[in-house]
Amino acid sequence: MPGPLCSNEVGEDWLDPGTLALTRNRPPTTHGMNSCQDNPPSPLTQQVFLSPALRETVQIATNMTTPMAWDSYWRMAYDRADKVLQAQANELLRRGNITKQEFDELVKARNKLVQEFRKPLSPFGKQYSEILKPTARLPQPGELLTKKGSIEAVLKSVGKSRASVNRLSMVFRVAGPALLALDITITTIVVMKAPSEQRGRMAAREYTGLGLGVAGGAGGAWAGCVTLAALGSPTLVLPVVGEVAEGTLCVVGGILGGLGVGWMGREAGKATGEVVYDFVTTFRWE
């Protein structure tokens, strides 16, 4: 007899005549699940997540932008320190009668600033900075004086930084934390929506994958920068142009390397997380 799926006339609670359904029926379940089971299992979150493509895109982008966002914050701190140095130079210019010792100390202070702010950078950030301005070739007071022609000309630009690098760092400073927060939120939703008996495994899998993905992104960004920058190293014979060309290749290589190696690190992290979870939950002291 026609009727709702899985129903039969025997033992069913039939509704009053005139209704559309002949028997009471369970609420609809996720597509592909067996609604005839008394307790159909809850599907994993990956099966019902609104957009798996969005999730993968966010994860891959996070692997690359997180280390670069770290570098961008240090770039912002360096830029502010440069402004303080420039303010000091402006005071000397207003006073006039600048001594050679004051001039030398100010230039050396700027070089020291460059060296100190490179120490906490990621491997990619250090490599990129070295391409644009090698630490071993930081201009000394005498060189700057010869290049600029006067002490006043040197002091007017002693606290300036590259505008192009500042703009690039601003992009990563905004995009990096936003993507990381979105990735953590999505990962947490995936863990919380998993069946209770699988939540521990899912947490170990997803959070380990997130951590190793970010670490892989940092290493991949450095490797990609070094690889592509090597292709542009012959252009360094051209002043300024060569540095810009190699620096651009470094950024492009860093993005590609961060995306690729970061994705591999995340996948490896997921597998590692599951293995560790199985070991921890099944290990027993004899």
Q: What is the pLDDT of residue 116?
A: 92
Residues comprising the chain, all counted: 286
Contact by Cβ (8 Å): 225, 251: yes
In this predicted structure, what is the pLDDT of residue 43?
46
Please, what sign has the CA dihedral across residues 69, 75, 80, 83?
A: negative
pLDDT at 120: 92
pLDDT of residue 204: 92
Whether the CB-CB separation of 265 and 217 falls below 8 Å is answered with yes
Q: What is the pLDDT along the chain (286 residues), one digit of tens a residue?
A: 555 555 555 555 555 555 555 555 555 555 544 545 555 544 444 444 556 677 777 887 888 788 888 889 999 999 888 888 889 889 888 888 888 888 889 889 999 999 999 999 989 889 888 888 888 888 888 888 888 888 888 888 888 877 778 888 888 888 888 888 888 888 888 888 888 888 899 999 999 999 999 899 889 988 988 888 888 766 544 455 556 678 788 888 888 888 889 889 999 999 999 999 988 888 766 5
Report how many helices (DSSP H) and strands (DSSP E) the chain contains, helices first.
9, 0
